[in-house]
């Protein structure tokens, strides 16, 4: 089935006046936020440049050999931008208000940009995490409460949207989807009124108390949430709505890669529900999150990721490709955990990696 790169090739010739903004456009623009435009895109209040201009400058600076060093799924984001630059639909869209901030002392990373489209609307794109294990851990850490990047996202939306009266699309992928929803819920009422849709593309949710706030309740009808069949990140915590489940060409946790999401015309290819194995994992995840205090959640998250990191894998792709060998390493590491977190971590691993653990145990018995 076609994916968003195929969409750009086949429908990129259709301008927004010929084919209105759609959910697939949203994912494309959210991926644009993954491109490192430091030294290329204008900073806030410093003007704008077209997608084509940004793409040309980027590939002048970075050679294909340099880009190959990135092994995460977002390594293809520059090529999404390149395809956008070659399409009448996006080539003249203007990039502005680019920010990319990393604060080690506060332990947060925040990046966003505004894309002014040819129809006069703006898409505010928040960067998410990549498929590194460190990035995945950042998504899980949202279970401890509001993080600095969320507050920054709300401030950014107020500052950017406050300087214009354009209608707004707000969105992001992974953590970027969470930031989009948070910003849309916590922004000034006059900004919130101009938001057409908030797109959460397999982004984690929130603690239940956030869902009761007046800002979230006002924006809830405008939220569109997409998750693949094997969604893990997009099912963390609470969302307040049911997601639209879509098809992916990948398997398991690698479905988090938005470039694997399958497209039919101007829409994602829909599926009926989350697959059964993923549903079991998500039920396990929700159970321990609901029954733990924030401090203990942080400890369980830390221990869970210490088990994943024991394999030496740096990305979800590498973790899954390691198969039984990595599962055996994780099992041994899990045995050394503190009793108060071991049970929760063991349940998470068993649910996430399906029957691999049982296969390892059977092989050891036979040996």
Question: With 80 as the cut, is the pLDDT of residue 349 above it?
Answer: no
Residue 107 has pLDDT above 60, yes or no: no
Rounded to 5°, the CA angle 45-51-53 comes to 85
Long-range contact list for 118-122, CB < 8 A, 24+ apart? 118/15, 118/16, 118/17, 118/92, 118/93, 119/16, 119/17, 119/20, 119/21, 120/166, 120/167, 121/21, 121/166, 121/167, 121/168, 121/169, 121/196, 122/160, 122/161, 122/164, 122/166, 122/167, 122/168, 122/169
Residue carrying the six token digits 């050999």: 65
Task: Name the most confidently modeled range: 109-123, 265-279, 281-295.
Answer: 109-123
Mean predicted lDDT score pLDDT of the chain: 86
Q: Is the pLDDT of residue 33 over 60?
A: yes
Q: Where are the domains of the chain?
A: 4-274, 278-366
Taking a C-beta distance cutoff of 8 angstroms, is the pair 125, 113 a contact? yes
Residue that the structure tokens 């092989």 belong to: 363
Look at residues 144, 173, 135 and name the one whose alpha carbon lies nearest to residue 305.
135
Higher pLDDT, 282 or 198: 198
Distances (CA, A) of 92 to 26, 55, 112: 17, 11, 19
Predicted pLDDT of residue 179? 96
pLDDT beyond 50 at 362: no
Question: Strands of 108-116's sheet, edge to edge?
Answer: 48-50, 94-103, 108-116, 122-126, 168-173, 195-201, 223-228, 244-246
- pLDDT of the residue at 363: 39
Fold (CATH) for 4-274: Rossmann fold (3.40.50)
Could you report the per-residue pLDDT of 125-143, keeping only the tens digit for each? 999 987 677 777 777 777 6
Report angle CA 182, 183, 184 to the nearest 5 degrees: 95
Alpha carbon of residue 240 to chain centroid: 18
The per-residue pLDDT for range 288-343, each reduced to its tens digit, is: 667 777 677 777 778 888 888 898 887 777 777 777 788 788 888 988 988 877 87
Q: Quick check: 280 pLDDT over 70?
A: yes
């Amino acid at each position: 089935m076609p994916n968003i790169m195929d969409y750009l090739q086949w429908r990129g010739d259709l301008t927004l006046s010929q084919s209105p903004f759609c959910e697939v456009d949203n994912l494309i623009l959210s991926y644009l936020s993954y491109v490192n435009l430091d030294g290329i895109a204008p900073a806030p209040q410093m003007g704008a440049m077209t997608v084509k201009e940004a793409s040309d400058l980027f590939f002048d600076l970075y050679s294909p050999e340099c880009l190959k060093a990135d092994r995460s799924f977002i390594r293809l984001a520059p090529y999404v931008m390149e395809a956008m630059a070659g399409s009448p639909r996006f080539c003249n869209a203007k990039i502005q208000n680019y920010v990319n901030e990393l604060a080690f002392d506060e332990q947060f990373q925040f990046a966003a940009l505004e894309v002014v489209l040819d129809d006069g609307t703006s898409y505010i794109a928040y960067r998410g995490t990549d498929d590194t294990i460190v990035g995945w851990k950042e998504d899980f850490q949202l279970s401890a409460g509001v993080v600095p990047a969320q507050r920054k996202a709300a401030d950014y939306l107020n500052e950017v949207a406050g300087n214009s009266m354009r209608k707004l699309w707000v969105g992001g992928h992974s953590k970027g989807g969470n930031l989009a929803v948070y910003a849309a819920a916590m922004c000034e009422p006059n900004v919130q009124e101009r938001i057409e849709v908030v797109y959460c593309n397999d982004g984690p949710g929130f603690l239940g108390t956030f869902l009761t706030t007046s800002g979230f309740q006002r924006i809830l009808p405008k939220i569109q949430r997409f998750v693949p069949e094997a969604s893990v990140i997009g099912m963390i915590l609470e969302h307040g709505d049911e997601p639209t489940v879509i098809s992916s060409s990948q398997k398991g946790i690698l479905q988090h890669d938005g470039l694997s999401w399958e497209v039919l015309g101007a829409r994602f290819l829909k599926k009926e529900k989350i697959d059964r194995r993923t549903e079991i994992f998500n039920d396990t995840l929700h159970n321990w999150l609901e029954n733990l205090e924030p401090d203990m959640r942080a400890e369980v998250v830390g221990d869970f990721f210490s088990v994943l990191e024991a394999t030496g894998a740096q990305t979800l792709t590498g973790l899954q490709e390691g198969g039984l060998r990595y599962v055996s390493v994780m099992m041994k590491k899990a045995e050394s955990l503190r009793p108060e977190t071991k049970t929760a971590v063991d349940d998470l691993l068993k649910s996430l990696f399906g029957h691999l653990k049982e296969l390892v145990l059977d092989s050891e018995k036979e040996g």
